Amino acid sequence: MPTTQTGNAPAAEAERPAHRDPDVRRWLGAYASSAVGDNVYYLALSWAAVQAGTPAQAGLVTALSAVPRAALMLGGGVIADRFGPRRVLISSDALRCAAVLAVAALLLVSSPGLWPLAALALVFGAVDAVMMPALGALPTRITSRGQLARVHGMRGLVVRLANVVGAPLGGLAVALGGTGAAFGLAGLLFAASLPLLIALRVRRLPADDARARGSAWSDLTGGLRYIRGHRVLLPLILVIALSDLGFVGPLNVGLTLLADERGWGAGGVGWVLAGFGTGAGAASLLLTARGRVPRAGLVLSTSGVLSAASIGALAFVPQIGVAVAVALSIGLISGLNGVLCGALLQAESDRAYVGRVTSVSTFFSLGLAPLTFPLTGAAIGQWGTGPVFVASAALCGLGGMVGLCARDLRRAELPG
C-alpha cells in the first residue's frame, strides 16, 4: 500500500474547508482531467464510427458502452467497497488510458474499421461500471461529512467546465490530426489524472482488507439489505430513480425533437442547453460557496416537484427566448436537487457501504435512464412532444412527492 494512504487523518485536517483541502483539490484536478478526457473520447469515438461505417452502425457503436455499464454497475459498487475507491480509480484510469492509446496507435497506422471501436466502447462501459461507484465513494474518504455539499458543488462546476472545454478540444484534435490524434489526447488526459490520484491521502477502513470479507455475492446482497432497511437511503434512491427516468429523455432526445417541431433549429437546441447548463452551474456555485443547505431533505424534495413543473412547461413554450429562460430554471432547480441528492446519499451512508449505495443510484441514473432515449423518441413520434413531456414531468414530480411523503428523508439534514 502506498505511503500516501493513511489510516486516520488529523482532526484539524478533516475539518478543513473543502476548497482549502489539498486532497480535495487533487481529487478535483484528477476528476477534471478525466472528465475532459471523457468528452474528447466520446467525440472521437462518434466521429471515427461515422467515418468507418453507416450512421446506424455508428449509433450502435456509441451505444455499446451502455450494456456493460448497466449489467455490471452493482458489482462495481462491491469492488469499490472491497478494495477501496482510490485503488479502483487508479486502476480504472490506467486501463482506460492504455485502451485509448492502443486504439490511437492503431488508427495512426491503419484503417481497421469498426471492430476496434466497438471493442473499445465495450471496455469503456465495463470500466465505467467499476469506476463510477468508486468516484462516488471517494469524497467520504478525503473530507469530513460536513463538507460533502461543498465538494459536490465543486464537482458540479468541474462537470460543466469539462462539457464546455472537452468537445471543442476533441474537435480541434480531429481537425488537426484526425481521430487517432483525438484518441491520443484523451489517453494523455486520463494519464494526467494518475499522479494526482496516487498522491491522495485517504482514510482506511477495516473493510478495506478484502481478505477479511465474505464473498462478493454476500457483499452485494448485504449492501442491498442495508439500503432496504435504511429509512433515508431507500426513499432517497427511489427519488433519484424516478427523477432521472423522467428527466433524461425529454432533456436529450425530446429537446431535439421539440426544437425541430418549433423550427428553432440546431442553434435553438444549443441555446436551450446553454440555459440549462448556466442554471446548473449557478446551483453548483451556490453550493460551493455556502457549503450547506438547511433542511436539505425538504429542499431536495420540493425542488424535485418544481423542476417537474418546469420540464412540463417547456413543451408548450413557442418562443426560443422563453424556452431558454425555462431551461435556465430547470438547470438551477435540478442542479440544486442533484447536488443535494449526492451529498445526502453519501452523508447518510455508512462509509463501508458508500460504494454499493452509489452503485445502486448510478445504476438508475447512468444504467437504466439512457435506455429511455429510444422510448422517448418513439412516444413523441406517436403522441407528440406535449403529452410525452407532461408524462415525463409527472414521473419527476412523483419522485419529489415520494421525498415529501417520506418523513425521515423530508427531515434529513446535511452535517454542519
Domains of the chain, each with CATH number or no CATH: 11-202 (1.20.1250.20), 218-410 (1.20.1250.20)
- Residue-by-residue DSSP string for 127-143: HHHHHHHHHHHTHHHHS
Of 181 and 376, more confident: 181
Instruction: Report pLDDT for 205.
Output: 63
Among 165, 29, 187, 200, which Cα is nearest to 120's?
187
pLDDT bracket for residue 292 (50, 70, 90):
confident
CA atoms of 198 and 94, how far apart (whole Å)? 11
Cell of residue 136, nine digits: 462516488
Residue 393: Cβ within 10 Å count: 23
Q: Is the pLDDT of residue 12 over 60?
A: no
- Fill in the DSSP letter of residue 201: -
Q: Which of 55-59, 138-142, 156-160 has the lowest mean pLDDT?
A: 55-59
Instruction: Report pLDDT for 114.
Output: 87
Angle at alpha carbon of residue 380, lines to 378 and 381, rounded to 5°: 65
Of 113 and 399, more confident: 399
User: What tens digit of pLDDT does each residue of 205-253 get?
Assistant: 655 554 445 788 899 999 999 999 999 999 999 999 999 999 888 887 8
Specify the pTM: 0.86
H-helix or E-strand spanning residue 412? none
CA atoms of 253 and 134, how far apart (whole Å)? 29
Residue 212: Cβ within 10 Å count: 9
User: What tens digit of pLDDT does each residue of 165-202 get?
Assistant: 888 898 899 889 999 999 999 999 999 999 999 999 88
Instruction: Report pLDDT for 416.
Output: 65
Q: Which of 12-16, 108-112, 202-206, 354-358 has the lowest mean pLDDT?
A: 12-16
pLDDT bracket for residue 267 (50, 70, 90):
confident
Is residue 280 within 8 Å of 160, Cβ to Cβ? yes
Q: What does each C-alpha distance from 208 to 127, 132, 197, 224 come to in angstroms? A: 20, 18, 17, 19
CA atoms of 373 and 32, how far apart (whole Å)? 27
Dihedral sign from CA coordinates of 50, 52, 56, 57: negative
pLDDT bracket for residue 63 (50, 70, 90):
confident
Beta bridge partners of residue 6, listed in sequence order: 203
Instruction: Report pLDDT for 4.
Output: 42
Among 194, 201, 184, which Cα is nearest to 29's?
194
CA atoms of 292 and 388, how far apart (whole Å)? 35
User: What tens digit of pLDDT does each residue of 337-368 get?
Assistant: 999 999 999 999 998 899 999 999 999 888 88
Is residue 296 within 8 Å of 278, Cβ to Cβ? no
Is residue 194 within 8 Å of 96, Cβ to Cβ? no
**H-only helix segments in 199-264:** 216-228, 233-249, 255-262
User: What tens digit of pLDDT does each residue of 312-337 get?
Assistant: 999 898 899 999 999 999 999 999 99
